[in-house]
Structure 1
Amino acid sequence: MESKAVVPKIEKIRISSKWSSKSKNVDVDVVKLSDTEYELVMNKNKKLAVVTVKMKRELLEALDRFAINQRLTRSEIIREAIEEFLKKYGALNEGDKQ
């Protein structure tokens, strides 16, 4: 008997940023995993996505000093740091690397 692959149903949900001085609502595509869990559906056509991160000013200043000294961008350092963090905890799949 042939088994059929289950195609996940993509839904749109609205999320809001409460941390920004300008409150924004954004619709995102997700797959519902359970009543309380969703997985974000990334647009595979885009090589890189824009992510906004809040951090203490002192950490940002240290990041900028390091970036200048290493002749790297903030983004390069942050991407590498996240990749190493995910590797450390076994949360990075082979296809997830830069």
Structure 2
Amino acid sequence: ELAQAGVYSTSQYGGVGYLNTDWAYHYFRGSMPAGRINIGLPYYTRGFKNVQGGTDGLWGKAATTTCPAGAGLTKCGDGAVGIDNLWHDKDDNGQESPA
């Protein structure tokens, strides 16, 4: 489904269409029984709020006018706070830094 939707052909993946779960399953299936393959889904990430645009939940933007400490040189988004901030980073003052 993801390949048919063109997800892996986007610029974010650099056009590499084979580094995905389906490819990995078939790669390992060549060396072990199917019942020995365990596919885990990592649901950890930085959360964002006020996301606009994108397609089917991908590539949306969550712009903000200020970047919290630790954002580095990359543009930051409107990061999640509280229970939705899965990283719970702290700034120099010990305050929660939005994701």
Same fold? TM cut 0.5: no
Which one scores higher on RCO, CA 8 angstroms, separation ≥ 6? 2
Give the alignment's TM-score, normalised by structure 2.
Answer: 0.26
Give the alignment's TM-score, normalised by structure 1.
Answer: 0.26
